[in-house]
Amino acid sequence: MPETIANGVGALQGWLFQALVLPVLASLGALRYTEDAFNGTEEFVLGAFEIAILVAILLPLERFLPYERRAAGSRAVRVDLIYTVLHRLGIFPLFFFLAFRPLFDAAQAWLHLHGVPTFGLETLLPGLAEAPLVAFLAYLVVLDFAQYWVHRAQHRVDWWWALHALHHSQRQMTFWTDNRNHLLDSVITDSIFAAIALAIGVPPAQFALLVVLSRMVESLSHANVRLSFGAVGERLLVSPRFHRLHHAIIASPHGGYRGVNYAVLLPVWDVLFGTADLRREPGPTGIDDQLAGRDYGEGFWAQQWLGLQRMVGRR
């Protein structure tokens, strides 16, 4: 993160915490949660910056270079905006990282006490400590590799797909769709992400930056934009075209095609493990059983409730 942006985030975080959050904690008699609230304020500020950047860049792109034309003010898109605000201004990933950290610290202390070596990228690559940028990229690659396999599991494990299907049920995909996830699905995936980050030794400051960078690229990849990165670029970074095929009806899990392009940031995983499709035109998004009338819900609460019903086999 450039120093000027970091300083801006820090200044706004400090002002917001002192002016609003700390007085509320004091009035509720909850000052024991001061440190957690301060960290949560940072996540809120970062999320607000993210949303502002996305609106400034991706909204004009969707208007002037759309993959498909859609009616303005669609309710389906408005619901996705709720998910975005909830996830970007909330504390899902950071909460689990901070909540799990004492457990990992205690476990590592016990292992050290009993002479058991602990795992971490810096253990395998000692030079990472002296090269912050290289360390950041190494953490990024490892976490993205893990996310690739988690994403495949979301599609292959029936009860998990029942939750993740909400994300794929959007027929009017836009950059807001990135955060359209069942809350239980988010709890599971963010817990795994945080646990792996702690296990490989990601520092808290770098974790926050990793989350922000990943979410920004994911928002771009979900955008309703007719954009690819070319023959080489499509293999280096997930593009809107690459990911749109993942959401396309022709890639739904109930037909013979069975899904492609699972990578979150780096398409190399799809290329290496045989799940890449760099040629087929995506077409409309959604799930094939929606064409037969299956209901995935229109409003936020209906979508959450129907997801739980699908998970237990009642829908």
Instruction: State both tokens at 48.
Output: 């607000």
pLDDT tens-place string over residues 213-263: 899 999 999 999 999 999 899 999 999 999 999 999 987 765 544 579 999
What pLDDT, on the 0 to 100 scale, is given for residue 256? 47
User: Who contacts 129 (Cβ-Cβ below 8 Å, separation ≥6)?
Assistant: 122, 135
What pLDDT, on the 0 to 100 scale, is given for residue 310? 94
Instruction: State both tokens at 218.
Output: 């994911």
Count of beta carbons in the 10 Å neighbourhood of residue 74: 13
Instruction: State both tokens at 120.
Output: 């971490």
Nearest to 42 by CA among 69, 79, 15, 80: 15
Residue segments in the chain with a per-residue pLDDT below the cut of 70 = 1-7, 36, 71-73, 90-129, 253-258
What pLDDT, on the 0 to 100 scale, is given for residue 122? 65
What pLDDT, on the 0 to 100 scale, is given for residue 18? 85
What pLDDT, on the 0 to 100 scale, is given for residue 218? 95
C-alpha Rg value of the chain to the nearest Å: 20
Count of beta carbons in the 10 Å neighbourhood of residue 105: 11
> Which residue is associated with the tokens 């991706």?
58
Sign of CA dihedral 76, 77, 79, 83: positive
Q: Which residues pair with 28 in a beta bridge?
A: none
User: Who contacts 139 (Cβ-Cβ below 8 Å, separation ≥6)?
Assistant: 121, 197, 200, 202, 206, 210
Q: Which residues pair with 248 in a beta bridge?
A: 285
Question: What does the DSSP assignment read for the chain?
Answer: --HHHHHHHHHHHHHHIIIIIHHHHHHTT-GGGHHHHHHHHHHHHHHHHHHHHHHHHHHHHHHHS-SS---TT-HHHHHHHHHHHHHHSS-HHHHHHHHHHHHHHHHHHHHHHTT-----HHHH-GGGGG-HHHHHHHHHHHHHHHHHHHHHHHHHSHHHHHHHHHHHT-SS--GGGGG---HHHHHHHHHHHHHHHHHTT--HHHHHHHHHHHHHHHHHHHSS-----HHHHTTTS--HHHHHHHHBGGG-TTSSS------SS-THHHHHTT---SSS---SBS-GGGGGT----SSHHHHHHHHHHHHTT--
Q: Which residues pair with 285 in a beta bridge?
A: 248
pLDDT tens-place string over residues 185-220: 998 998 888 888 888 888 777 887 888 889 999 999
